[in-house]
Amino acid sequence: MKSQLLERVSGLLEGANFAVSDCGGSRSCFDFIARKGRTLLLVKVLSNIEGLTANTVHELRKASFLTGGVPFVVGERLKSSELMDGVLYERYGMRALNVQTLKAVLSDSMPFTHSIRGNYCVNIDSGMLKSLRGRLDLTQEELARELGVSKQSVYRYEASGSVLFDVMERMLRIFGDDRLLLHENPLKTGRASEDQSYNMHVTDMKRVVARKLSDMGFSTSIVNAPFDVVARKRETVFAVVSNDQRRLENKIRLVREVTGMVGGYGLCVTDRQVVFKDGVAVLRPSELDDFDSPDELFDRIGG
C-alpha cells in the first residue's frame, strides 16, 4: 500500500538525518521535501511508477528549478514487475528507484545499473575504456569480436560510456579493472526546467495573484506544490493562493516549513479569515494593489 511506502521513505530520510516535511494532502507534485546540509530533495512516491505522467514530471522539474532541489521518484513496481535493487529507472527522463536502492544511496553506496527501455545498462569511463584497449593493443574491431558486438557498438561505448550489463561483464573479464564502472548518484542535481507549456489547471485567483506580483516587478511562476505561486526578485516569495478553508492551515504550515528549508518569504493570499498563520503573512488579493515594488512587499511580509 502507498501509505506504508510513504512511511518507509519518510523513515529512511529521517534516519539519514534529513529534515523532512510531509506534503501529503496539499495536491503537490511531490510528497516530501527533505533537507540535509546543502542537499535538498523533492521526492515523489508511487507504488507503480507507470503512474508517473509527463505533466507531473514537468511540475517536478519546475519545482526543482524554483527551490534548488533534486527531484526523483521512489516506487515499488513498473507495470507488473518489481523494481530491482541497485537499479536506477527513468520515466520521462525522471530518475526512479526502489526503497532498497534509496537506502543504499543514503548510505553513500551508489548503484551502477540503470534501466533504459527495458535494457539494463551501466555507465563506464569511456576514456578509460580507450586507454585499456590501447594498453592491450586492441583495435575497436578486435575488441568488438572479443565482446561479441559490432565495431559500431564499441565506437558508441567509447563515445557515450553507456554499455549493456552483459557486455560490461565481458569487458571486466577482458580488462580485469572494475574502475571502468561509474556510480550513478540520483541525488545529484538533475535537469531543472521552468517550462510552463504543459497542461495544468490554474484557477483564476492564482492567475490574478501571479499577474499582480509580476506587475510589481517580480518574475513569477505558478506551480503545483505546497505553494501555488513563486515570485522572485532578489528574494523569493512562496505564496499559498487559495480560498479553500479546509486546506489553508495545512498549506500555511507547509509553506512555513519550505521557507525554513530553502529560505525566502512565506505568504498566504486569501479572502478567507485565517487564524493559524505560523509566521506567514496573510493578505487579501486586493491588498496586493497597495504595493508598487518588490521591496515594498518585502517590508510588509518580512515582519
The pair phi, psi for residue 28, each rounded to 5°, is -90, 155
Contact 98, 74 (CB under 8 A): yes
With 90 as the cut, is the pLDDT of residue 196 above it? no
**pLDDT per residue as tens digits for the range 17-72:** 999 999 987 889 999 999 999 999 999 999 999 999 999 999 999 999 999 999 99
**Banded pLDDT at 8 (limits 50, 70, 90):** very high
Instruction: Please tell me the class of the 121-182 domain.
Output: mainly alpha
Residue whose entry in the numeric block shows the C-alpha cell 580507450: 130
Instruction: Please tell me the class of the 2-111 domain.
Output: alpha beta
Task: Please state the pTM of the whole predicted model.
Answer: 0.86
N-terminal to C-terminal alpha carbon distance within the chain: 43
Specify the 3-state DSSP secondary structure of 147: helix
**pLDDT per residue as tens digits for the range 262-289:** 999 999 999 999 887 888 999 999 999 9
**Banded pLDDT at 193 (limits 50, 70, 90):** low
Please give the pLDDT value at position 117.
Answer: 77
Q: What is the rounded average pLDDT of the residues 113-139?
A: 91
Which cell is 85 given? Answer: 535493487
User: What percent of the chain shows pLDDT beyond 70?
Assistant: 96
> CA-CA distance, 168 to 150, in Å (whole number)?
14
User: At residue 126, what is the residue type?
Assistant: S
Domain residue ranges in the chain: 2-111, 121-182, 204-301
Equal fold, 2-111 vs 204-301: yes
Note the helical H segments in 83-160: 99-106, 126-135, 140-147, 151-160
Residue 109 CA from chain centroid, whole number: 20
The pair phi, psi for residue 254, each rounded to 5°, is -65, -40
Render the burial of 136-147: b for 16+ CB within 10 Å, e for the rest: eebebeebbeeb
* Strand 70-78 to 39-48 pairing: parallel
Contact 192, 168 (CB under 8 A): no
> CA-CA distance, 98 to 160, in Å (whole number)?
26
Residue whose entry in the numeric block shows the C-alpha cell 495545512: 250
Q: Is 93 left (phi over 0), alpha (psi -120 to 50) or beta?
A: left
Q: What is the DSSP letter of 287?
A: G
State which fold the 204-301 domain adopts: Trna Endonuclease; Chain: A, domain 1 (3.40.1350)
With 60 as the cut, is the pLDDT of residue 199 above it? no
